[in-house]
Amino acid sequence: MPLFLRGVEYIIERMDSFKTKSVRQEDVKKDWILVDADSQIVGRMASKIAFRLRGKHKPSFTPHIDGGDHVVVVNAEKVVFTGNKFESKEYFFHTGYPGSQTRKSPKSIMEKKPGWILENAIRGMLPKNKLGRKMFTHLHIYLGPEHPHTAQNPEMIKL
């Protein structure tokens, strides 16, 4: 038998090892992660949390399956911005009525809703569909160091 045909037979025999494994929703194992947001930069932390919520850190990542972890964030009011974004950055709001545009700085938002800034940043990094909304429900943000998820034994990670 010619040498090049032996190579083809070998490849045909090994084709089962080249198959892509697609995980099912029933097979997904969701972990609980605890993140301390004290003096963390908003955008960098939000991108890492969205990465975990999406499940992209797992080797079994499947784009159409909710395979991410539950993420508990504590001390959400202590996040920081780089540079002078805390005063100069603007969040734009519009109700749809004429003349109802408002712009607010992170400083004014932190006075009323300190956790909203982190929620908004993370939501913007998730898919804009049903799956993204489902993934967002696995995010739990708390002001202060206390949280009610101690029974799940969340693993503390450093971002």
Contact 85, 99 (CB under 8 A): no
Query: Using 50, 70 and 90 to split pLDDT, how confident is the model at 21?
Result: confident
pTM: 0.86
Mean pLDDT of 95-113: 95
Q: What is the mean pLDDT of residues 41-60?
A: 96
* pLDDT, average across residues 102-107: 96
Domains of the chain: 30-157 (3.90.1180.10)
User: Contact at 8 Å (CB) between 157 and 35?
Assistant: yes
- Taking only Cα atoms into account, the Rg of the chain, rounded to an integer number of angstroms, comes to 22
- Give the Cα-Cα-Cα angle 71, 77, 82 (nearest 5 degrees): 95
pLDDT (mean) for 23-41: 95
Secondary structure of residue 115 in the 3-state scheme = coil
- Give the pLDDT score at 39: 94
For residues 63 and 159, the model is more confident at 63
Between helix 42-54 and helix 116-124 the angle, nearest 10°, is: 50
- The answer to whether the Cα torsion of 57, 139, 71, 106 is positive or negative is positive
Q: Where are the beta strands (DSSP E) in the chain?
A: 32-36, 70-74, 91-94, 101-104, 139-141, 155-157
Phi and psi torsions of 117, nearest 5°: -60, -45
